[in-house]
Homo-oligomer: A and B are copies of this chain.
Amino acid sequence: MNIQFADRMNNVHKSFVREILKVAANPQVISFAGGLPNPSSFPVLEVQNATHKVLNDDGYNVLQYSNTEGYLPLRQYIAERYFKKGVVVDPNEILITNGSQQGLDLIGKVLLNKNDDILMERPGYLGAIQAFSVFEPKFHTVPVVDDGVDIDSLKEVIKSHEPKLFYGVPNFQNPSGITYTAQNREIVAKILNEYNTIFIEDDPYGELRFMGQDVPSMKTYLGDNTILLGSFSKIVAPAMRLGWICARHEIMEKLIIAKQASDLHTNYFSQRVIHQYLIDNNIDNHIKKITELYKGQRNCMVSMIEKYFPQEVKSTKPEGGMFLWATLPEGFSSLELFDMAIKQNVAFVPGDPFYINEKGTNTMRLNYTSSTEEKIEEGIKRLSEAIKDLIK
């Protein structure tokens, strides 16, 4: 018997990265392919204590159904933390979601009609491409360059298409590691405001800065014209799938309805546990521990790249986050490199899935947070051998 699936699924494919991760799971392989936080940073004991406390003090409520918006004290905590960083958000303009990935799905649900224009970074976060593809928009892209969004391209694309939404990751972008400078943000905001384009500011990595200076949120330039996404996955624990959306009241109302239709509410047990963890511990100290760890790994990868990679290969030098981005000389395919690298027992993510419709790109994403410095040195050595074989 044949089933007629919904048309919207035609353009949504199984994550390519998933398939790569299967290959990279071989213990012989040194993998820069993953996107996982380093588990040694997880506050296992503190989560243990927080769980004990909430179940002990309020177990019958902690295990019951809850409201769609999310646990109010947790939303208040998030709002207060933003406030300290100069971002003003009302707790009632925050919705707790199953990781920020669900935020993308809900935004697509309430804002995207088929063939609506949406602007994406090039390269861009593949999870966002996947989430929005379900709603069959028309994707347009602007390149990400050293200081953020390429302004000339942005002007051109926005003028031709007047997109409803622009999705970006201004801090330590996935996949490139690039951060928009303050000046770049200001110009981008000005252009978006002219066209009433809403910026979806996805910020899972913003807290993971290990060098340089913090840059203000796009929301400080765009105000209510931003939908801001955040997550506890990279600073506490991804297994709990706790993220959030901040959006102005009018949009929030629709998001809450969509959330209710999607899954009633986010896991309340985990919301209570993470809230207890946050009020009982110093999260800034914890984040400092993570960023010091990642800084060492990043420095190691950057210097090993300088030492071993052929000079023709360019790469970014991120000031935070989990990834850097390398570019082979023109005309070489990173997919082809992947096949050669895997024979040397080293893995990465080829650039293709981070583009909407480009194949055979010469770029690749390298994750440094999941490997020890020894593995990073050995892995970059192996990878440079594969690169030399490819471009010789």
A256 to B239, CA, bound (A): 18
Alpha-carbon distance between A110 and B241 when the two chains are bound, in angstroms: 23
Q: Is A285's beta carbon under 8 Å from chain B?
A: no
Q: Is the CB of B51 within 8 A of A64?
A: no
Establish whether residues B48 and A60, one from each chain, have CB atoms under 8 Å apart when the complex forms: no
For residue A226, CB closer than 8 A to chain B, the reply is: no
Q: How large is the interface on A (under 10, 10 to 19, 20 to 34, 35 or more residues)?
A: 35 or more
Given contacts A42-B59, A238-B65, A257-B9, contact A250 B3 (CB under 8 A): yes
| A66 in contact (CB, < 8 A) | yes
From A47, A52, A98, A250, name the one whose CB has the most chain B CB atoms within 10 angstroms.
A98
B36 touches A63 (CB 8 A): no
Bound complex: CA A59 to CA B46 (Å): 11
Return A125 CB to nearest CB of chain B, in Å.
12
Asked whether any CB of chain B lies closer than 8 Å to the CB of A355, the reply is: no
Residues of B contacting A260 with CB < 8 Å?
14-15, 18, 130
Interface residues of A in 107-156 (CB under 8 A from B): 109-113, 116, 127, 130-131, 133-135
Contact A60 to B36, CB < 8 A, known contacts A111-B3, A241-B263: no
Given contacts A6-B112, A110-B9, A251-B3, contact A99 B263 (CB under 8 A): yes
Which residue of chain B lies nearest to A13 when distances are taken between CB atoms in the complex?
A: B257
> Which residues of the other chain, B, contact A272 by a CB distance below 8 angstroms?
239
Contacts of A111 in B (CB 8 A): 3-6
Question: By the criterion CB–CB under 8 Å, are B238 and A63 in contact?
Answer: yes
On whether the beta carbons of B44 and A48 are closer than 8 Å, the reply is: no
Complex Cα spacing A39 to B65, Å: 10
List the B side residues contacting A256 at CB < 8 Å.
Answer: 14
- A contact set with B: CB distance below 8 Å: 1, 3-9, 12-15, 18, 36-37, 39-40, 42, 44-45, 47-48, 51-52, 55-56, 59-66, 68, 97-99, 101-102, 105, 109-113, 116, 127, 130-131, 133-135, 164, 196, 198, 225, 233, 237-241, 250-251, 254, 256-258, 260-270, 272
